[in-house]
């Protein structure tokens, strides 16, 4: 089903649609409004996997010296490259666990404007385009302080392709996980093996993932996920919270804490 926002977007200039999406997105995804809790001060490199219209890319560019945005939808990648701040590098590819090519599935309108394109085919997809794939570990990234992953189903492959980066730099990692798309336990288990703990933001306070029934919550609120960006962002819209973003931090670190201080405490034990 095409959302109202997607139908309206067809009649508006792409740059205007992108600006509007960036403006309302913090209401749609409150974690973005709490970016100071996620991206540490003095962040060297921030990585935005699944850039879409750039709501995360634009805000990360104000906090990190460099932002690397990975976006596989060709026209969205071109738009990002044309409009992003100077400290943003756009990689026109899909993040995966190895380089190569893959089929990127798109909804019936074929634009990818809804942000639901994926390497994993679902019933909302109608056709596909071939895109290049890249592993984050092959991008020669350094001093990575924050990684955001929004890929609608291939999260584990993205993280496997970033294992060296995660082990070396220990960045904060925000992953969109939805049980209606893929099982979420493999991602949680993989990051746990790398020494990461999960956190969620169901209201105004961060909660440890083991203390929040994420799968049950998503089952009870999955109807909200079918509402479009505009409906979920308007002040008078449905205010039911659908939690689908999980923040993973190195064990012993809490949201908003200085990662340098956390490492220092760990070295004293």
Per residue in 122-151, pLDDT (tens digit) is 878 888 899 999 999 999 999 999 999 999
Q: Could you tell me if residue 64 is inside a domain?
A: yes
Residue 34 structural domain: 4-68+137-268
Give the pLDDT of residue 260: 65
In the three-class reduction of DSSP (H, G, I as helix; E, B as strand; rest coil), residue 140 is classed as coil
Per residue in 185-200, pLDDT (tens digit) is 999 999 999 999 999 9
Q: Could you tell me if residue 245 is inside a domain?
A: yes
Q: Could you tell me if residue 125 is inside a domain?
A: no
Beta-sheet pairing, 245-250 with 94-95: unpaired
- CB of 34 closer than 8 Å to CB of 12: no
> CA dist 247 to 1, 53, 201, 207, Å?
29, 21, 9, 10
Q: Could you tell me if residue 168 is inside a domain?
A: yes
Give the pLDDT of residue 6: 55
Q: Could you tell me if residue 79 is inside a domain?
A: no
Give the pLDDT of residue 1: 46
How many structural domains compose the chain?
A: 1
Q: Could you tell me if residue 100 is inside a domain?
A: no
Q: Could you tell me if residue 11 is inside a domain?
A: yes
Whole-number Å distance between alpha carbons of 118 and 91: 16
Query: Residue 22 sits in a domain of what CATH number?
Result: 3.40.50
> pLDDT confidence of 4, banded at 50, 70, 90?
very low
Per residue in 62-107, pLDDT (tens digit) is 999 999 999 999 999 999 999 999 999 999 999 999 999 999 988 8
> pLDDT confidence of 177, banded at 50, 70, 90?
very high
Q: Could you tell me if residue 131 is inside a domain?
A: no
Whole-number Å distance between alpha carbons of 62 and 123: 37
């Amino acid at each position: 089903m095409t959302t109202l926002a997607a139908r309206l977007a067809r009649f508006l200039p792409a740059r205007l649609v992108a600006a509007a999406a960036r403006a309302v997105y913090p209401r749609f995804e409150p974690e973005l409004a709490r970016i100071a809790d996620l991206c540490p001060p003095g962040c060297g490199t921030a990585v935005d996997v699944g850039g879409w219209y750039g709501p995360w890319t634009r805000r990360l560019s104000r906090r990190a010296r460099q932002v690397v945005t990975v976006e596989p939808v060709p026209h969205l990648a071109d738009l990002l490259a044309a409009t992003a701040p100077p400290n943003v590098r756009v990689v026109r590819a899909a993040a995966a666990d190895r380089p190569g090519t893959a089929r990127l599935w798109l909804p019936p309108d074929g634009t990818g404007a809804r942000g639901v394109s994926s390497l994993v085919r679902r019933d909302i997809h109608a056709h596909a385009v071939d895109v290049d794939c890249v592993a984050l570990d092959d991008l020669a990234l350094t001093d990575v302080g924050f990684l955001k992953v929004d890929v609608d189903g291939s999260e584990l492959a993205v993280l496997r392709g970033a294992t060296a980066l995660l082990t070396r730099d220990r960045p904060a990692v925000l992953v969109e996980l939805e049980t209606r798309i893929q099982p979420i336990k493999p991602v949680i288990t993989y990051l746990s093996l790398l020494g990461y703990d999960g956190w969620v933001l169901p209201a105004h306070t961060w909660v440890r993932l083991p203390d929040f029934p994420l799968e049950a919550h998503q089952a009870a609120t999955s109807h909200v996920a079918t509402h479009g960006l505009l409906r979920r962002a308007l002040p008078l819209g449905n205010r039911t919270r659908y939690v689908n973003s999980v923040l993973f931090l190195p064990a012993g670190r809490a949201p908003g804490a200085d990662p340098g201080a956390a490492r220092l405490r760990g070295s004293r034990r």
